[in-house]
Amino acid sequence: MSPQSRSRKKKAAGGKAEPQGVGGFCKEILRDVAALGADPDPLDVEVLASGVLGELWDHPEGDELAKDLIDYAGRKVGPASGVLLAGLAALAPFAHREPAAAALRGLVARGLPEPRVAAKLGAATPGECFAAGDVYGDRSTLLCTFEYGESRHGLLAVVDFSYFEPIVLDVSIVENPDELEREMRDQAAQHDGTIKFERLPLARARRLIEKGIVLHENLPEPIVTDDFALFRAVALARCRALPGPEQAEPAAVLPDWDSVVDEFLRETGDVPDSPAVRECARLLIDFGVQSEPNRPLRVSPEKIATFLEDWLPGEAELSDAGEDVLSTVLLAWVRWRGSREGLPEAAVTELLETAEDLLEGGGEVLDAYLDDVPDETGSEEVAAILDRRMFAVPTTLTELGEDELTLDPNDPEQRHLLVVGEHPEFHDALAEGGPDAAEVMEFLGIKAAVVDQLWEGEPAAAWTAACRLREQGAERDEILDKLSAVLAGQLQPAPENELRFDPADYERALIALGDFRP
């Protein structure tokens, strides 16, 4: 749930440091501060300082640049330097907060009047916090209101609860908190019970936002939006103004899973008790434990989609009998859990419709991977083929330019487009042509050839090498890079658009590919 808002945006001051040097970077920041005027609004100062800190936080040498900026401002006696240092002293990480305050004291000792705005920074008074989110517990938008004298603003945070712990996906400062509160209430009222609106204790809001920002930053591959970087520091400062944080809930005491399956079968009269039914129910539980150990039995549209489209094909082995009853078990499980969790009827209906749509479409997705596999092929061999091909081509969806496409991995040309779609960083170079495009096309051509080999299973040594590397802990991208490097090393001069190599030499090189260490 994401209401419309007017974010309090100021450009991230200064731009990148490398092209103009540290001195130019610092001068531009001071010019941006000076542009706020002689008596700037404290929120404007905080947002600008937060933008500077966001840029430094996202920079590989951010700590050093922050020290350089504080030193530079401390040497320049002027109103802009004083305001900047006051903003950094209020918002910077602890390691830079005191150095910024000390540099400001130094300027004052040298005759600079202390900026009037300095006493106001960070002095926002908390008001209330509201939350609007889906009733399933996947995601929620938090709005915390604050007052600066007669003006009001809000801290807006999008929290995702589907990770091991809640993480903050995005934050912003908004100028229209009252309007947003009304909009959040209206959206909840219009969605027939699938969106809930509630007041949230300020201490709980602090825990969710403050810890959620840190957890997001520590993800292996965080998805950082412009707003997240721009408002991150001021959001953390606002959290420090809130009471708390509330203590996290203790870890859930997990039940005996066999007893949960017994309970499911006992309370669901239309599902017969059989080994296949129990197999499917245990897979649903296993998925829940792996994905959300604190809420393993929770159901939601997003969680159902992840189970059917990602987890079940990639990490689970389902017997033929289990495949036959999966649809029945999943729909019964959704109805049972929706009732046990007290979800409104509209929400349960939405869950069932999502599950039915995914179950109908799932066969089409598998058909794309198994279209040329004979019907008489044994289940173990089918599973092995599916594993190999889903490693080679993890998804049939891709984005090329502004188009989102579903492609057929059985078609070599469309399969090659799926490889291109995995590298959006090269799309501009390919569109522009020139020497860079030729180099990119060579790289993508070799990678596409490796994907073709894995898809077809020829040579078998390519998949054997991939499995060996995977067992040693390598990720898919690393494995494809290794295989591509081996193939590239075997290429011989050939006419344009041909890849010529000695199959025996290539197979020996693949067999030797076993010394990878993660």
> What does residue 68 show for φ and ψ, rounded to 5 degrees?
-60, -40
pLDDT band at 180 (very low <50, low <70, confident <90, very high): very high
Q: Which residue has the tokens 């090189």?
A: 509
**Do 212 and 159 touch, CB atoms closer than 8 A?**
yes
pLDDT band at 495 (very low <50, low <70, confident <90, very high): low
The amino acid at residue 132 is A
At 37-69, the pLDDT tens digits run: 988 999 999 999 999 998 888 788 888 889 999
Per-residue confidence (pLDDT) for residue 365, from 0 to 100: 60
309: number of Cβ within 10 Å: 15
Per-residue confidence (pLDDT) for residue 390, from 0 to 100: 86
Per-residue pLDDT at 225 exceeds 90: no
- Greatest mean pLDDT among 363-367, 457-461, 502-506 lies in 457-461
25: number of Cβ within 10 Å: 23
Per-residue pLDDT at 19 exceeds 50: no
At 62-86, the pLDDT tens digits run: 888 899 999 999 999 899 999 999 9
Helix and strand numbers, DSSP H then E, in the chain: 22, 7
Per-residue confidence (pLDDT) for residue 8, from 0 to 100: 58
Per-residue pLDDT at 287 exceeds 60: yes
Q: What CA–CA distance (Å, rounded) separates 212 from 174?
A: 19
At 86-128, the pLDDT tens digits run: 999 999 988 899 999 999 999 999 999 999 999 999 889 999 9
Greater model confidence, 136 or 225 = 136
At 353-403, the pLDDT tens digits run: 888 888 876 555 667 788 888 877 776 787 788 889 988 998 888 888 777
Taking CA 310 as the corner, what is the angle to CA 309 and CA 316, rounded to the nearest 5 degrees? 105
> What does residue 403 show for φ and ψ, rounded to 5 degrees?
-100, 135
- Greatest mean pLDDT among 131-135, 355-359, 419-423 lies in 131-135
Per-residue pLDDT at 17 exceeds 70: no
Tokens of 225: 């939006």
Per-residue pLDDT at 14 exceeds 90: no
Tokens of 178: 């009252």
